[in-house]
Structure formats: structure tokens, C-alpha cells
Amino acid sequence: MLLTLTGSSCSGKSTLAFGVADRLRQVAVHDFDEVGVPEHPDHHWRHRMTEWWVCRALEYQDRGIDLLLAGQSPLGEILAAPSAPLLDGIAVSLVDVGDESRRDRLTKRDPGQWNASAIDAFSGWAAWHRRHAMDPRYQPDVIIDGSWPRMAWHRWTGWSAEDPRWCTHLLDTTDRPVAQSVQHVEFWVTEQRDAQRSGELALASGWSDQASSHEDQDS
């Protein structure tokens, strides 16, 4: 299955993912950007690379290994990736941090690289992530407009916030010790893997073939 830690920059995704790498058996841990990032990454690039990572997850799946991926692709992009329905399970956690903490982390990580406008953009992307995690109908154009043509947005754009498949776990790392957050991620990964094995995972195999709860009510 594919387990993803998503969110805007400097929330702690990669630190947490690699922090649990030695604690989990049969789990491969990767960072979305490890294969390289273009000078001006756009929607097309992120969508194509999301599909690339989904395909990597399928390769691991064939070997009985789950993939834990740290990146910025939100749930809607993962579900729309062409090969996503072939996965035997999908679980997404939004790793978030308060705006002031994000600003401090960006400044310390890359001194002098980010101006106020760039930092505000990271905060805006984080704010959108929070709303997207709660409701698929919140400004989907942010990721759909100008997207890679192969993306299958129709899989979820008819869903409501009440659809059980629209499920993003939330982890706020603000003022939380790294060790505590790592433990939290370890528990979340274990919980999702157990749910997948028992057939209780919200986005288990076959999720894209199910009618949405909204469609069920209208029928």
C-alpha cells in the first residue's frame, strides 16, 4: 500500500518519515523530491511525479512491501493519479505546523533564500491543504486547473466531505518534540496497515469503483 505524509514545506514530513524507517518492517521510506526537482516545478511536474511514485509503490507492492512517501501531493492528487486504483491501499496524513513555526524553520533551514512573499506562499499552500483535507469540494481548481492531462479528477470530484473515503489523518507538529511526532507516525502507519489487512481501510482496493455516499442518497 501507499502511505503518504503530505503538507507544505517545513512541517517535518521527511524528518518523521525517515525517523520511523528503522521501526517498521516491510516498509520502504522515500522522499518525493529525492529524484530531483526542476528549477521551476509546476502542476504538470508534481502530477507526473505523483504517478511515478504510485508506480514505485506498485513495484514494492508486488514484493510485499509498503511505501511510506514524504511529499506535497494532497489526497486529491494521489487519487487522481492514473495508476492509483491498482494500489491495494492508500492512506494519507497531513503533517502541519503553525505559520510562525514554519516561517522560523524556513529561515533557519535556508537563510536568506526566502523573501516574505515566498514564505507567505508556503503558508497559503498550507492553509489550502488544511481545507482540502476536510472537504474535497474546497477550491479543487487549485490543483486541477492547468493540470497534467492524464489525471483522473472525476474519481473524487463528486464526493462530499461525508464520504468515508475522503480521509486524511492530521498531525500538527507545532511545539511538539520530534520524538513524540515520530512515535505518532509510527502508530498511524501501523494502524493503517492493520486496517488494510483486515479489510477496514477507507481507501482499500476497489475504492474507485464504489458509488459516492452522495450518489447513494440520490439513487
Is 79 contained in some domain?
yes
Q: Residue 191 — pLDDT band, cuts 50, 70, 90? A: very high
Residue range 37-80, pLDDT digits in tens: 888 888 899 999 999 999 999 999 999 999 999 999 999 999 99
Residue 112 has pLDDT above 70, yes or no: no
Enclosing domain of residue 114: 2-212
Is 217 contained in some domain?
no
CATH of the domain at 86: 3.40.50.300
| Contact between 3 and 67 (Cβ < 8 Å) | yes
Residue 82 has pLDDT above 80, yes or no: yes
In sequence order, the 6+-apart residues with CB closer than 8 A to the CB of 1 are 57, 61, 66, 67, 87, 88, 89, 90, 91, 192, 193, 196, 201
Is 181 contained in some domain?
yes
In sequence order, the 6+-apart residues with CB closer than 8 A to the CB of 42 are 146
Q: What angle do CA 45, 209, 134 make, to 5 degrees?
A: 60
Is 219 contained in some domain?
no
SS3 call for 28:
strand
Residue 125 has pLDDT above 90, yes or no: yes
Give pTM, 2 decimals.
0.91
**Number of structural domains in the chain:** 1
Give Cα 142 distance to the centre of its chain: 15
Is 182 contained in some domain?
yes
Is 218 contained in some domain?
no
First to last CA, the chain: 32
pLDDT > 70 fraction of the chain, expressed in percent and rounded: 94
Is 71 contained in some domain?
yes
Residue whose C-alpha is closest to residue 167's, from 133, 199, 137: 133
Exposed, middle or buried: residue 166 (CB in 10 Å: 0-12, 13-18, 19+)?
buried
